[in-house]
Amino acid sequence: MELHELAKGQREFYQTGRTLDYAFRAQALDSLAKGLARWEDRLLQALEADLGKPPFETYMTEIGLVKSELRWQRAHLRVNMRPRPVPTPLAQFKARSFQDPHPYGVVLEIAPWNYPLLLSLTPLAGALAAGNCVVVKLSDQVPNAAQAVVGLLADCFDPRHVFGLQGGRAENQALLAQRFDKIFFTGSPAMGQVVLEAAVKHLTPVVLELGGKSPCIVTAEADLPLAARRIVFGKFLNSGQTCVAPDYLLADRKIFSQLLALLRQEIARAFGPAPMQAPGYPRIVNQKRFDRLLERMADGQIFCGGDVCREKRMIEPTVLTEVSPEAPLMQEEIFGPLLPALPYDRLEEALSLVESRPCPLALYLFTEDKKQARQIMRRLQFGGGCVNDTVMHLASHRLPFGGVGQSGMGAYHGRQSFETFTHYRSIVDTSTKIDLSIRYRPYTPAKFWLLRRFLR
């Protein structure tokens, strides 16, 4: 299907008004939920084929979270669709004022390769609940998963309502040349800039879910064994190919050596003595990224890990020390199983280092000092994060997820997803029974006196 014909067909379908009805939206959410159940085994197999991802991890980090989002959107759909009344100023007596939720129309959603199910279907749930037509573009870096999602969407929806396709940059450029009413993009900051520039041509509002170097700070007051376990979980999930993975570690020098030893111990407990031989150990998505990660390993000393398998594009969970803050490893988002660890002598040094860099998508802090935690979280700017944990803020549909500054704009999950894909129209419904004459000409001193008392 030609892309301009696709966009035209979806716009014509939207203009029929069918997507505005509660029953239509409810049926769309139900259809996607049932389709997800039917396609679950194929989706699990697809991610295993593309990334070597074990079914347990795919369900935990993708399918299970999509199901949770769909349940929330379905359960709250009727309430979210209701107009929101607001107080009306006395000067507008007699009238009622309200915000009326209305779909944007035709939405373009561009999903990444690292969590292709979660990051395509979760925004889609919000867009459907809000009453939009949607084009979902999947990455060609994970062809099996992309093909499965495209098949799922074709099984569930009229293509004039929801259409899925896979491709690379050429398809992105062709889609971005079309006029959409909203664009939702998840990916790299560099590609986010391309999306934003394209959106300007049509004055299209955008949501950008980008990345960045997410720091993990461990203070001397932290529960170190627990910190090590949760850092290893969050960092090496999907072999580090997670936008909210801890990207670098800053630890108090007093506990630095102890924490490193615990990290090595926890990696061995989680992955065994030969991680690349462990069942379901994910691989790096392509050769280019694999080679880049190998280059970055030279920016520090290998404390643990470091073994690689070029044939399988696998890299062991690796902790690096003696890393300069100016090294390339500390300038770019790693997106792989490499964790640079840097000690600090004073907490102020760590906070200043974080502040000197672009706003991260996530921030993680480990400390048992509640006052210290409040002060640090209040001071630093970041998209979202955790105290004494990693990545788990992403798993709650009750917490909006999004970046700030170079890590993105806009947010979604739960109610925020519905609002992200909804335009709230401000409406004043004025009575015809009473018509105050103060606003009409001719203007008189008496009217001016009244005006000053109404509007002040």
Active site residue 243: yes
Instruction: Give the type of residue at 124.
Output: L
Whether residue 186 contacts residue 112, with contact meaning beta carbons closer than 8 Å, is answered with yes
209 an active-site residue?
A: yes
Q: DSSP readout, 295-317?
A: HHGGGSEEEE---EETTTTEE--
Mutual orientation of helices 64-75 and 22-51 as an angle, nearest 10°? Answer: 170
Phi/psi of residue 440, each to 5°?
A: -95, 150
Q: Which of 216, 243, 304, 359 is catalytic?
A: 243
Work out the burial of residue 350: count CB atoms within 10 Å of its CB; fewer than 13 is exposed, 13-18 middle, 19 or more buried: buried
- According to DSSP, the β-strands at 95-103 and 84-86 are antiparallel
* Active-site residue (options: 62, 109, 209, 316): 209
Site of tokens 């069918």: 18
Tokens coding 249: 């570690």
For 54, 212, 217, 319, 407, the CA distances from 304, given in Å and listed in that order, are 24, 24, 20, 5, 30
Give the span between the Cα atoms of 329 and 180, in whole angstroms: 37
Structure tokens at 44: 């699990």
Known catalytic residues are 209, 243
